[in-house]
Amino acid sequence: MEQTRVPPPGKRLKRVVSPVSLYPSKPLCLSDRLSLRAYIANRVTDKLTPIHDRIFCCRSGSAADTQAIADVVTYQLGFHSIELDEPPLVETAANLFRASCYRYREELTAGILVAGWDRRKGGQVYCVPIGGMLVRQPVSVGGSGSSYIYGFMDSNYKPNMTKDQCLELTAAAVSLAMERDGSSGGVVRLASISKDGVERRVILGNQLPKYSTH
């Protein structure tokens, strides 16, 4: 889909995001670089934002827009969860994102991946790209660097991989994208969400897998 809008001024979160759906756990993976065109405002941004105990979102697009939406959804989901007196569904969280992103689609630049674990459907990944569509996928990538790894993900993802295989896959994917995309870089943040909780990891620049072509 061709984006013909001129990007709005302000800080742009550009980067690669790729949660991979895996039963029972779900690794989320992000690289960190917040860029104000040529200047990197924050080289260690955490774009993996917790929305609830076992629900995370990966943010891409405008930093201000995605932070604001994430804050709103965190509040709405927390309230909903207290009303129900049970942990919320990932689908609910994704729908809350979709509601905000679709209603204000003209004003927002936000591409979000919602991922988490719940009792009903286990590990899930929902994609809410710019425009406010909502679709559940086993694997998803997003951000400016995602274009470089569609092929990699398509060919390397197999259903029913183990947790470690998934973590390796997402780390490799993000590293490859960081190598090619000027707006992505810094560190790689991984999160693995399962019934037992969330495991967060950071891969620093010098620990990244090396893929130099020359």
Partner 1 sequence: MNEHKGHKYIFQIVSGSILSWNAVLEGEANKVGYSLPAARKTGTTICGVVFKDGVILGADTRATEGMIVADKNCSKIHYISPNIYCCGAGTAADTEMTTQIISSNLELHALSTGRVPRVATANRMLKQMLFRYQGYIGAALVLGGVDCNGPHLYSIYPHGSTDKLPYVTMGSGSLAAMAVFEDRYKPDMEEEDAKRLVRDAIAAGIFNDLGSGSNIDLCVITKGKLDYIRPHDEANKKGVRTGDYKYKRGTTSVLTKSVTALNLEVVEETVLTMDTS
Binding site for partner 1 (CB under 8 A): 6, 9-11, 34, 37, 39, 41-42, 44-45, 62-65, 67-68, 71, 107
Closer to partner 1 by Cβ: residue 64 or 99: 64
From the list 31, 19, 5, the residue with the least C-alpha distance to 114 is 19
Q: Please report how close the Cβ of residue 161 comes to partner 1 at its closest, in angstroms.
A: 34
Q: Which residues pair with 122 in a beta bridge?
A: 118
> Of 38 and 158, which CB lies nearer to partner 1 in the complex structure?
38
Closest CB 22 distance from partner 1, rounded Å: 30
Residue with tokens 């991946």: 113
In single-letter form, the type of residue at position 26 comes to K
> In sequence order, what DSSP letters do the residues of 30-58 get, joined into one string?
EE--EEETTEEEETT---EEEEETTEEEE
> Which residue, 10 or 24, is less far from partner 1 as judged by CB?
10
Tokens of 196: 């037992």
What's the closest the beta carbon of residue 126 comes to partner 1, in angstroms? 23
- Give the span between the Cα atoms of 134 and 6, in whole angstroms: 24
Tell me the closest approach of the beta carbon of residue 124 to partner 1, in angstroms. 28
Nearer to partner 1, 169 or 191 (CB): 191
